[in-house]
Amino acid sequence: MVTVTVTAKFHNPSLSRRKEWQHASRLYRDTKQFCIDGWENGDFGKSVTTASIDNDLYSAIQNQAIREAKSDHNKDGEVRYRESQPFAVNNQNWELDTTENGTVVVGFPCVSQWWYTPIEVYEDIADPVDRLVEGDAKKTRLQVYRRGGD
């Protein structure tokens, strides 16, 4: 099976959503750093769970942060995350749908709630997005990150 990466841009997200996504990116970084520091200090074993993490991220996002931190730690040892990290969720924790007027929206958990936000579907991504919406393609990980001044 072929994996296709689709990079889409949110269509006019509100200021409150942008701020929450930025906050989630920082919490994601902090969660990954908490795991790395705990493993390096011997505070807990590799079997850390979301019960050990004290922040407001949805557990689905915390779980992904734990998986990424574990992978980074196994590969590189002690890691220091300096910048906010793009947060991610696995295939079970996000949705792609269309509204009655045909707008494509992506839904995913964040800090305060699930957000459903329109994305811009331009020509280069129209086919893979259509296949995802129709259920003809398998979802994988969704990653939310900030690019440039948007």
Return per-residue pLDDT of the chain as tens, 150 residues.
567 777 778 888 889 888 888 899 999 999 999 999 999 999 988 889 999 999 999 999 999 999 999 999 999 999 999 887 888 888 888 999 999 998 999 999 888 888 888 888 888 888 988 988 888 888 888 888 776 554
Residues 6 or more apart in contact with residue 31 via CB below 8 angstroms: 53, 55, 57, 62, 65, 66, 69
CA distance 34 to 44: 11
Task: Provide the pLDDT for residue 2.
Answer: 64
**Residue 93, Cβ neighbours under 10 Å: how many?**
20
Q: Distance (Å, rounded) from C-alpha 131 to C-alpha 146? A: 25
Question: Do you know the residue count of the chain?
Answer: 150
Neighbours of 131 (CB within 10 A): 14
Q: What pLDDT, on a 0 to 100 scale, did the predictor assign at position 91?
A: 86
DSSP 87-120: EEE-GGG-EEEE-TTS-EEEEEE-SSSEEEEEEE
